[in-house]
Amino acid sequence: MTPTIIHALMLIATLALSFLFSKTPLSQYDLQIGALLFIVLFAAQRVLKIKSRLLESVVYTFIIMLIVNSSGGIASPFFFLIYFLLFSLSLLLEPIIPITVTLALIVFFLLSLPENQSLKNLIPVFSLAFLTPFALFLGEEYVKIKRLENRLGQTQTSTFLFLSLMLKNHLKNILEAAENFMGDHELHEIKRNAGRMEKLIDKFEKTI
């Protein structure tokens, strides 16, 4: 399976677990459990040096859904945290992930709602679908920026290698010829190395 599918399945499983957990007596300890998960995440990043965006996404998703579900579900005053979650997931993982998470959230919320709910009560649930395109756009723009940064980094590395390995060697030859200048032979060497440097610079500029 591709990393995107694995990430989507992991987050769907996290959402399912959070909805099931809210139905258990342990849901009254949501703040303590959330704090414990933050401590575990902090220890994994700082002590164990584990840098995993998937781990961060799973922990944030579980904590936010735990808070929302334990404080009233779609009627929770903390429902807006889901909006921030979708934007965060679009930055931490692939841009397509918010769409998967949104669809899963809508399904889980609809399945957990009591019967005969009015349309007004369902507005927060369906509002998630309207927010998803913005999260997707933000994720795609973030990916483009990261690619541009990587490209600039590679260009800087190539420039450094070009200057340090190629030009430096020709400049050394020119300086040696200038220091030992005796006549036409050294002058010819200076012109030859200068011509090579000019050709190398022109060739390098075309590759940027």
Please give the structure tokens belonging to residue 203: 């060739």
The predicted pLDDT at position 132 comes to 75
How wide is the angle at C-alpha 101 spanned by C-alphas 2 and 145, nearest 5°?
65
pLDDT tens per residue across span 149-165: 666 556 666 665 555 55
Confidence of residue 13 (pLDDT cuts 50, 70, 90): very high
Structure tokens at 177: 């010829």
Q: How many Cα atoms sit within 13 Å of 38 on the Cβ side?
A: 8
Q: What is the domain partition of the chain in residue ranges?
A: 3-139, 149-207
E strands within the chain? none
Whether the full predicted model's pTM is greater than 0.75, yes or no, is no
Give the list of residues 6+ apart from residue 164 with CB closer than 8 angstroms, or none.
Answer: none
